[in-house]
C-alpha cells in the first residue's frame, strides 16, 4: 500500500509542477512544425521513417479489410504470428475467447502491446508456465482505433520488458467533431457464423476555438459460433477417410470393458455399440467432433471509449481517456469421461469379473465410459477490461513534455457447470451406484454429485510516466535531439480458483493453484537522435529497469544512411530482456515422488550403483521427489536483436524495403527434464531425501531470424483510377531452441504451425466515389510434425494455404459510405494436418490453428457521418 501511495503522490507532484511550468513559459514557445511521436522513438519527428522498420495502418486501411475485430485485422499482416486456438476451440477453460499477438516466432508474452503509448495489463487467467501472459487484444474496440503502429524490432531500450520481438501501439481517435454511425452484417456461404456489428462515434468541441474536445465511442459485436460438425474437414475425428487413424475417443457412452489387472481395453463393448461407432479391435468409439464443439467461437462483446482533451493554454493540453470492454461467452465441452464399475449384464460376453476387498461386487466389471445423463460440461466466461488514463502534455521553449498516470484492469470469471465432486464421484462410480451407460439414474442422485466451480482472476497495472524531449545542441548537420523519461509501474495478480479446484477434487476439471502476487518496478531511459552528417542519422538509447528481484540495462544503437532520395540503408542493435511474469515467480510449487533408474544420474547424485557380475551392466534404483512449478529466483530472459535493411525507389512510383532481422535469446525460462536438472546440479539432499528441481529455470536458448519485404507500385490515371499494388512478405530462415548451452540446436522452422513464410498481395483502385480492393494471402506449408529437424522419413508435407478477399466501397451519396466484402472468395479450406488431427494437445479439427475453416463469407457494411 505504501508503494501505491508513493506512486500516486509522485504523479500528482509532477503533474502539478509541469502544468505550472508550462503556464509560466507560455509566451516563450515559438511556432513549431507539425511533428508526431511514432512507436520506436520517444522523439517527435516530421518523418516517421527512422532507423527501424515500422508499419502503420491508417483508419482507412483498417476499414478496407472488413475486419470486425482486432484479431481478425492483424491476421492479414505477415509479420504477425497467428496461432488462434483461443478463437477456434471452446474447450480450453482459460484460453477460449482470447486472442494474443506473436511476432518473430516468439511467444505472445514477448510482444509489448500499448494503448496510446502506455502499457496494458496482461490477461487475468494464464498458465502457470507463463503461457498466455499477454494482453487480450479482443478487449480493444476496433471502431475506436485511429491507427496501428507496429515496431518490427526489439523495443526494450525504450519500453522495457516484453518488447523483445516488437511493439504494437494502438492509437485511438482524438479531436473529432461530428457523429459517425457504422455497422456491418455478415454470414458464411453455408448460412452460419452470422456476425452483427454496430458502432457509434460522437465528438464535439474544437481544441483550437473551444479549447476542448470530447469524444465518445461505442462498439457492439455479436457473432454466432460455427460448429465443427458443419464443416467436412472437422466433422469427424475418424481420419481414416483421409488415410490416417481413428482419433475417436474410447470413452464411449456405451462403455468399453477394461482388464482390471492391466487397465487395457479388452475389445468388448459393455452395451451394444451404435451403428458406425465400432472401431478397430472391436472398441466402441465416441466422435466428439460431431456435436457441441466449435470450429469458430461465438462472441458477445460491448466496448466503449471516452476521451476528453482540454487546451489549458496554447502550449499545454490536459486529457482524460477511458476504455472499457465487456465480453460474455458460453462454451461447451463433452460430458465427463472416466472409469466405472457396472453390473455384468451378459456373463457370456464379458470376460472379467470384479471382486472388491470386502468380498462383495461379484458380477461387476470395469469399463471406460462417458456419463451422458449429467449433460455437457459448460463454462460461462465473463471478461471485463477497463483502462483509465489522465495527464498533461505540451511544449516549453524547444521541448516537448508529457506526464500521465493510468490504471488498467483485466477481470475474468469462469463459472462452470455439470462438473462433479471427486469424492462423491469416486464413491458413486466405484460402488456401481452410477451407471454411465443409461439415462435412467436417479436425477436427484446425479444432481447431488455435481458442483459448479468458479474461477476469478484479476490483473491490474498502474503506471506513471513522465518524459521530456527536444533539441539539445545544434550540430553542423542539424539539431542533436534527446528524450529522457521515467516509468513507475505497480502490478498485481489475483487468481482464485474454487477451493475444490485447488484441491484437485473436481472431476473433469484441471487442478489450479491460487495466486496472490504484486510487485512495483521502475525505469529511467534516454534517447539521442544524432545527425552525424546531412545524410546520416544515428539513434542511441539506453534504459535501466529495476525489479524487486532483478535489474536490467537495455542499450540500443541504430543508423540510417540516406544515400540519395531513392536509396537509404538502416540498421540497429538492441539488447532486450523479459522479466518473469508474476505467476512464474509466485505461483504454486508442486512436489511429487519419482524413481530414478539411470546409473549416470545416480553417480552424479553420489548414490552407489550396482554392477551385474555377469553382464557388467550398471543399475540403480533411487526414490526421490520432483519439484515443479514456479520459481521465485527466476531472472529476466535476455536477448539481442539485430536489424539490417534498405529502403529504395526502383522507379518512379515503385518503392520497396527489405529488412533482415535476427533475435538471440539466453536465460530463456523453461522446465528442465529430471536428467537435465541433475546435470545442472539442480538438486539438494536433506538427510536421505533428494529433491530434484524441475520447476521453471533460466536454462534455454532460442534463436530466430528472417527477412521482411514490402513493395509498392502506385499507378495514376488508369482505367480503374488510381491503383496501388502492394506485396508484404515475412520469411523465416530459422526458429530454433536448445535446452542447455552444450546441447545441439532443435530447428522448428517449417514444422507444425511454424510456416517458413506468410505473404499478402493486395490491389487497391480508387475511381471517384468507387474503390475496389483485393488481397491474396498465402501461408506457407510445413512438415506435418511438431518434432524438430531432421524430419523423419515418410513424414507428409502440409501444403500452402491461400485465400483471397474482395471489397467494393461506394461513397457517392453525401455522408454515406456503403461496402460489400467477400472474404475467402474462392472458398478455400485449410490443408489437412494429421499432427493436429491425432493429438489432443491441439484442436483436433484436422488443420493447424493458423487459419479457419469458416469458408466463403459475405459482409455488408455502412457508415453514415453527421457533420
120-170 pLDDT, tens digit per residue, is 998 888 877 777 788 888 888 888 888 999 999 888 888 888 889 999 999
Mean predicted confidence (pLDDT) in 295-324:
93
C-alpha cell at 759: 505473404
Residue 205 neighbours by CB distance under 10 Å: 18
Confidence band for 89, pLDDT divided at 50, 70 and 90: confident
Highest mean pLDDT among 25-29, 361-365, 549-553, 764-768: 764-768
Residue 690: the pLDDT is 86
DSSP 679: H
Q: At 31, is the secondary structure helix, strand, or coil?
A: coil
Highest mean pLDDT among 68-82, 336-350, 826-840: 826-840
pLDDT at 359 > cutoff 70: no
Residue 34: the pLDDT is 60
- Higher-scoring residue by pLDDT: 618, 826: 826
Reported as half-sphere exposure (CB side, CA atoms, 13 A), residue 28 has a value of: 10
Confidence band for 481, pLDDT divided at 50, 70 and 90: very high
Q: Is the pTM of this model over 0.75?
A: yes
C-beta separation of 306 from 216 below 8 A? yes
**What are the DSSP calls for 409-437, one per residue?**
EEEEEEEEESEEEHHHHHHHHHHT---TT
pLDDT at 747 > cutoff 50: yes
Taking the C-alpha atoms of residue 596 and residue 601, their distance in angstroms, rounded to an integer, is 8
SS3 letters across 42-108: CCCECCCCCCCCEEEECHHHHHHCCCCCHHHHHCCCCCEECCCHHHHCCCCCCCCCCCCCEECCCCH
Residue 774: the pLDDT is 96
Range with the lowest mean pLDDT among 118-122, 459-463, 689-693, 707-711? Answer: 689-693
Taking the C-alpha atoms of residue 95 and residue 757, their distance in angstroms, rounded to an integer, is 26
- Higher-scoring residue by pLDDT: 378, 82: 378
Name the nearest CA neighbour of 301 among 172, 189, 136, 126.
136
pLDDT at 7 > cutoff 70: no
Residue 15: the pLDDT is 37
C-beta separation of 78 from 728 below 8 A? yes
Residue 90: the pLDDT is 67
Give residue-wise pLDDT tens across range 56-76. 998 888 888 888 888 888 888
Name the nearest CA neighbour of 837 among 292, 285, 228, 238.
238
Give residue-wise pLDDT tens across range 106-123. 888 889 999 999 999 988
**Mean pLDDT rounded to a whole number for the chain:** 88
Q: At 23, is the secondary structure helix, strand, or coil?
A: helix
C-beta separation of 416 from 425 below 8 A? no
C-alpha cell at 176: 473529432
pLDDT at 723 > cutoff 80: yes
SS3 letters across 791-850: CCCCCCEECCEEEEEEEEEEEEECCEEEEEEEECCCCCCCCCCHHHHHCCCCCCCCCCCC
Residue 362: the pLDDT is 63
pLDDT at 301 > cutoff 80: yes
C-beta separation of 602 from 541 below 8 A? no
pLDDT at 255 > cutoff 50: yes
**What are the DSSP calls for 342-391, one per residue?**
EE-S-TTT----B--TTS--TTEEEEEEE--TT--EEEEEEEEEEEEEEE
Pairing of strands 637-651, 567-578: antiparallel
Residue 691: the pLDDT is 87
- Higher-scoring residue by pLDDT: 591, 727: 727
pLDDT above 90 covers a percentage of the chain that reads 58
Q: At 520, is the secondary structure helix, strand, or coil?
A: strand
Residue 519 neighbours by CB distance under 10 Å: 17
C-beta separation of 500 from 506 below 8 A? yes
Give residue-wise pLDDT tens across range 378-396. 999 999 999 999 999 999 9
Taking the C-alpha atoms of residue 540 and residue 480, their distance in angstroms, rounded to an integer, is 11
Angle at 699 between CA 749 and CA 106, to 5 degrees: 35
Amino acid at each position: 500500500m505504501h508503494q501505491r501511495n508513493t506512486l500516486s503522490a509522485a504523479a500528482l507532484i509532477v503533474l502539478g509542477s509541469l502544468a505550472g511550468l508550462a503556464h509560466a513559459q507560455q509566451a516563450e514557445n515559438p511556432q513549431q512544425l507539425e511533428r508526431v511521436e511514432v512507436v520506436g522513438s520517444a522523439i517527435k519527428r516530421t518523418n516517421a521513417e527512422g532507423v527501424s522498420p515500422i508499419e502503420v495502418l491508417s483508419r482507412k486501411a483498417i476499414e478496407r479489410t472488413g475486419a470486425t475485430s482486432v484479431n481478425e485485422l492483424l491476421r492479414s499482416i505477415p509479420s504477425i504470428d497467428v496461432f488462434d486456438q483461443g478463437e477456434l476451440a471452446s474447450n480450453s477453460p482459460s484460453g477460449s475467447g482470447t486472442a494474443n499477438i506473436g511476432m518473430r516466432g516468439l511467444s505472445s508474452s514477448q510482444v509489448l502491446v500499448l494503448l496510446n503509448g502506455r502499457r496494458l495489463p496482461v490477461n487475468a487467467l494464464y498458465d502457470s508456465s507463463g503461457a498466455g501472459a499477454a494482453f487480450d487484444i479482443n478487449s480493444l474496440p476496433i471502431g475506436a482505433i485511429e491507427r496501428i503502429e507496429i515496431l518490427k524490432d526489439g523495443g526494450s531500450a525504450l519500453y522495457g520488458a516484453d518488447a523483445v520481438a516488437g511493439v504494437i501501439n494502438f492509437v485511438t481517435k482524438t479531436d473529432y467533431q461530428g457523429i459517425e454511425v457504422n455497422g456491418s452484417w455478415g454470414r458464411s456461404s453455408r448460412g452460419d457464423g452470422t456476425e452483427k456489428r454496430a458502432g457509434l462515434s460522437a465528438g464535439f468541441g474544437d481544441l483550437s476555438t473551444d479549447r476542448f474536445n470530447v469524444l465518445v465511442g461505442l462498439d457492439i459485436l455479436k457473432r454466432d459460433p460455427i460448429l465443427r460438425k458443419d464443416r467436412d474437414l472437422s466433422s469427424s475425428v475418424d481420419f481414416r477417410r483421409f488415410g490416417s487413424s481413428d482419433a475417436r475417443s474410447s470413452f464411449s457412452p456405451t462403455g468399453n470393458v477394461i482388464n482390471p489387472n492391466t487397465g487395457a481395453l479388452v475389445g468388448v463393448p459393455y452395451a451394444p455399440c451404435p451403428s458406425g461407432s465400432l472401431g478397430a479391435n472391436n472398441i466402441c468409439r465416441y466422435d466428439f467432433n460431431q456435436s457441441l464443439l466449435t470450429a469458430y467461437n461465438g462472441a458477445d462483446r460491448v466496448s466503449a471509449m471516452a476521451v476528453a482533451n482540454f487546451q489549458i493554454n496554447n502550449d499545454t493540453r490536459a486529457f482524460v481517456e477511458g476504455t472499457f470492454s465487456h465480453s460474455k461467452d458460453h462454451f461447451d465441452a463433452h460430458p465427463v469421461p472416466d472409469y466405472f464399475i457396472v453390473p455384468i449384464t451378459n456373463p457370456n460376453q464379458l470376460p472379467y469379473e470384479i471382486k472388491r476387498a470386502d468380498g462383495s461386487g461379484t458380477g461387476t466389471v470395469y469399463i471406460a465410459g462417458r456419463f451422458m445423463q449429467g449433460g455437457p460440461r459448460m463454462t460461462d466466461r465473463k471478461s471485463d477490461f477497463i483502462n483509465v488514463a489522465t495527464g498533461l502534455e505540451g511544449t516549453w521553449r524547444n521541448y516537448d513534455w508529457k506526464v500521465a498516470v493510468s490504471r488498467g484492469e483485466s477481470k475474468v470469471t469462469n463459472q462452470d457447470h455439470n462438473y462433479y465432486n471427486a469424492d462423491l464421484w469416486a464413491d458413486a462410480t466405484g460402488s456401481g451406484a452410477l451407471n454411465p451407460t443409461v439415462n435412467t439414474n436417479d436425477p436427484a442422485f446425479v444432481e447431488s454429485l455435481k458442483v459448479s466451480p468458479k474461477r476469478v482472476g484479476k490483473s491490474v497495472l498502474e503506471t506513471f510516466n513522465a518524459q521530456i524531449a527536444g533539441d539539445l545542441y545544434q550540430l553542423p548537420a542539424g539539431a542533436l535531439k534527446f528524450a529522457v523519461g521515467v516509468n513507475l509501474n505497480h502490478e498485481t495478480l489475483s487468481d482464485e480458483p474454487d477451493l475444490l479446484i485447488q484441491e484437485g477434487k473436481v472431476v473433469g476439471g484441471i487442478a489450479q493453484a491460487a495466486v496472490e502476487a504484486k510487485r512495483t518496478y521502475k525505469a529511467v531511459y534516454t534517447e539521442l537522435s544524432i545527425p552525424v552528417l546531412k545524410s546520416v542519422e544515428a539513434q542511441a538509447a539506453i534504459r535501466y529497469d529495476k525489479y524487486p528481484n532483478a535489474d536490467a540495462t537495455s542499450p540500443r544503437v541504430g543508423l540510417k544512411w540516406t544515400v540519395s532520395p531513392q536509396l537509404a540503408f538502416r540498421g540497429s542493435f538492441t539488447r532486450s530482456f523479459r522479466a518473469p511474469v508474476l505467476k512464474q515467480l509466485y505461483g504454486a510449487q508442486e512436489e511429487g515422488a519419482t524413481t530414478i533408474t539411470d546409473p549416470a544420474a545416480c553417480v552424479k547424485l553420489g548414490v552407489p550403483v550396482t554392477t551385474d557380475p555377469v553382464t557388467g551392466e550398471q543399475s540403480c534404483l533411487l526414490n526421490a521427489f520432483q519439484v515443479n512449478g514456479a520459481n521465485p529466483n527466476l531472472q529476466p530472459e535476455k536477448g539481442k536483436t539485430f536489424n539490417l535493411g534498405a529502403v529504395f525507389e526502383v522507379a518512379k512510383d515503385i518503392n520497396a524495403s527489405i529488412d533482415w532481422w535476427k533475435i538471440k535469446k539466453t536465460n530463456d525460462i523453461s522446465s528442465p527434464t529430471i536428467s537435465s536438472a541433475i546435470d545442472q546440479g539442480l538438486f539438494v539432499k536433506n538427510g536421505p531425501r533428494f529433491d530434484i528441481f524441475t520447476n521453471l529455470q533460466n536454462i534455454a536458448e532460442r534463436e530466430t531470424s528472417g527477412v521482411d519485404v514490402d513493395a509498392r507500385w502506385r499507378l495514376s490515371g488508369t482505367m480503374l483510377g488510381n491503383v496501388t499494388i502492394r506485396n508484404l512478405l515475412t520469411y523465416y530462415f530459422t526458429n530454433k531452441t536448445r535446452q542447455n548451452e552444450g546441447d545441439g540446436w532443435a530447428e522448428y522452422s517449417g514444422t507444425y504451425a511454424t510456416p517458413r513464410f506468410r505473404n499478402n498481395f493486395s490491389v487497391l483502385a480508387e475511381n471517384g466515389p468507387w474503390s475496389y480492393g483485393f488481397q491474396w494471402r498465402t501461408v506457407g506449408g510445413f512438415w506435418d510434425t511438431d518434432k524438430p529437424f531432421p524430419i523423419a522419413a515418410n513424414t507428409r508435407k502440409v501444403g500452402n494455404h491461400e485465400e483471397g478477399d474482395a471489397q467494393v466501397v461506394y461513397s457517392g451519396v453525401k455522408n454515406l459510405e456503403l461496402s460489400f466484402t467477400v472474404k475467402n472468395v474462392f472458398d478455400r479450406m485449410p490443408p489437412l494436418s494429421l499432427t493436429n488431427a491425432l493429438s489432443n494437445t491441439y484442436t483436433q479439427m484436422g488443420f493447424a490453428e493458423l487459419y479457419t475453416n469458416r469458408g466463403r463469407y459475405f459482409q455488408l457494411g455502412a457508415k453514415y457521418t453527421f457533420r
